[in-house]
Amino acid sequence: MDTEVLKKLKDDCVNWIREFFELNGPGCNAVVGISGGKDSSVAAALCVEALGRDRVIGVLMPSGIQPDIDAAYTLVNHLGIKHFEINVGDTVAALKKTVSEALSGELSVQSATNIPPRIRMATLYAVAQSNNGRVVNTCNLSEDWVGYSTRYGDAAGDFSPLCGFTVDEVKAIGRLLNLPDVLVDKVPIDGLCGKTDEDNLGFTYATLDKYIRTGEIEDKGIKEIIDKKHRANLFKVKYMECFDPKIEVKADM
């Protein structure tokens, strides 16, 4: 993407963040979960540019031992933002144990995998509500396109600055924001099952990004996989379905 176009997109996003806070909490803080990956790094950096470092709070949430937590500290130190480390490991383990026992040991693998991000989101809201904050959703367009997020986990939040950018575009914005390469180019992993995002998806983000932006894709098998995931996971980026009873309200005579 042309540098000038990219800079305008970045500036537009920064202005959008400012406008969001003017409408939804003047003087409030942006609270962002910091994993040390490109998405949380870029989202935090955009918020710093929009609001100033004094109004951005990073929350590091390892679940037990996090081997790559140094990357998260690299980011908060680079930006100079206030931050908290809250280890959710004991809470995650306790909830898994309690639910599993209630279900007679029938806690599914997918359920167990999604508990940590939902606990992390509860943690972010606890920090936000205790610090006059608004929670940043850090999902990007590529992830949202194929539903690579946890509903009411990392897919939640109060505002989403990256939802219109592909993985490649997020990286480009990260470089424009002068973030360390180690953060921008960090191999994306979900931190849940030990595999990379691309291992789990079965295709590369480069392939997905090109398909999203141009509609072009060489492997028809991968196209079918992407289309199927997209259709199946559209509900994650929509408000819940709500029944409308269509009750007529008559004016007082």
| Model confidence pLDDT, tens digit, residues 124-146 | 999 999 999 999 999 999 999 99
Q: What's the chain's length in residues?
A: 253
Say how far apart CA 155 and CA 109 lie, in whole Å: 19
Percent of the chain with pLDDT over 70: 97
CA 210 from chain centre, in angstroms, equals: 21
| Model confidence pLDDT, tens digit, residues 32-90 | 999 999 999 999 999 999 999 999 999 999 999 999 999 999 999 999 999 999 999 99
**pTM of the full structure:** 0.92
Q: Which residue has the tokens 């959703």?
A: 137
Quick one: tokens of 58? 């990073």
User: What is the pLDDT of the chain when averaged over all its residues?
Assistant: 94
Question: Which region holds residue 135: left if phi is over 0, alpha if psi is between -120 and 50, else beta?
Answer: beta
3-state SS, residue 84: strand
3-state SS, residue 151: coil
**Above 90 in pLDDT, residue 162?**
yes
Domain boundaries, the chain: 3-237
Say how far apart CA 48 and CA 57 lie, in whole Å: 10
Percent of the chain with pLDDT over 90: 86
Burial of 195 (0-12, 13-18, 19+ CB in 10 A): exposed
Say how far apart CA 241 and CA 209 lie, in whole Å: 29
Instruction: Give the orientation angle of helix 38-51 with respect to helix 167-176, to 10 degrees.
Output: 50
| Reported CATH class of domain 3-237 | alpha beta
Confidence at residue 186, expressed as pLDDT on a 0 to 100 scale: 84
